[in-house]
Amino acid sequence: MAQLLGGLFTSHVPAIGGAIAKGLQQDPYWRPFFDGFAPVHRWLAAARPDTVVMFYNDHGLNFFLDKMPTFAVGAAAAYRNADEGWGLPVQGNVDGDPALSWHVIETLVDHEFDVTTCQEMLVDHAFVVPLQLAWPGGGKPPVKVVPIAINTVQHPLPSPKRCLALGRAVGEAIRSWPGNARVVVFGTGGLSHQLEGERAGFINKAYDLGCLDALGPDPDALARQSALDIVEQAGSQGVELLNWIAARGALGDDIREVTRNYHIPISNTAAATMLFETRALALA
């Protein structure tokens, strides 16, 4: 059976990708964020995952406002990164895991989630930057991927409760997969930030830290909010917390926090990193 090893939660700001491309990881502005990944790299080297199931949100590269699925799951053999206009280097294709993708899709449909199935899918910085952070140094990441895109852009937005339920169903799918994959889930985006309007540059440190404290022991507390509550507390783009909530749902209850890091600001964004491992890995 597949083994769910743990979960990585991280910001995915395009400026992070720019800093990587320019080699600015040890610049004083960026170092507090990038240094937070040292324990993540050690953990990944020891855990040796071969598949990442990534909960993220598309920013108009693959889906736009005329066609915005609430939940979309990739089922491709490979995923192509394309130019978004941020000046980021375009990355090479990332290998997919179609067999696991279809198992996830079928499990979600069994749980009455009406997902959009994508047999071709472009992936943007929200997908690529976390892989670069997890496996630095350039080159192709040493994992296959299953992308799960959540609408955090166009209203109506899915509720945190629904995203947590989605994640729990995905976790069930991973654990019931008869293959021998070693799987890590990623939740990407946030934390608090707003890029437009009167609150442009908004960061809510107290709210962010409260979310980090609750994410491990009490994800249901985060799910008792509405999506609009998150927008009010974390900013219009801070609603990317939905990706974290979904990924947390996949992990189940028997987990241990490995590391966390919080740094502000990065490009008008509150940047955070958290890593949990499951009991199954701790006993391995």
pLDDT tens string 237-279 = 888 999 999 999 999 999 999 999 999 988 889 999 999 999 8
Active site residue 125: yes
- The per-residue pLDDT for 63 is 87
Of 62-66, 130-134, 221-225, the least confident: 62-66
pLDDT digits (tens, 9 = 90+) for 167-197: 999 999 999 999 789 999 999 998 998 878 8
pLDDT tens column, 122-173? 999 889 999 999 999 888 899 999 999 999 999 999 999 999 999 999 999 9
State residue 54's pLDDT score. 97
DSSP strand E in the chain: where? 3-10, 51-56, 71-74, 78-81, 94-95, 116-118, 122-123, 144-150, 182-188, 255-266, 269-278
Q: What was the pLDDT predicted at 197? A: 84
Over residues 10-32, mean pLDDT: 93
Q: In this predicted structure, what is the pLDDT of residue 170? A: 98
Q: CA-CA-CA-CA torsion for 200, 206, 211, 212, nearest 10 degrees?
A: 110
Domain positions in the chain are 3-282
Catalytic residue among 12, 103, 193, 263: 193
Task: Among 65-79, 190-204, 218-232, name the one with the lowest average pLDDT.
Answer: 190-204
Marked catalytic residue, from 12, 59, 103, 125: 125
Given the candidates 3.40.50.2300, 1.10.3470.10, 3.40.830.10, 1.10.3430.10, the CATH classification of the domain at 3-282 is 3.40.830.10
Phi, psi of 118 (to 5 degrees): -115, 110
pLDDT digits (tens, 9 = 90+) for 87-131: 788 888 999 999 999 999 999 999 999 999 999 999 998 899 999
The share of the chain scoring above pLDDT 70, in percent, equals 98
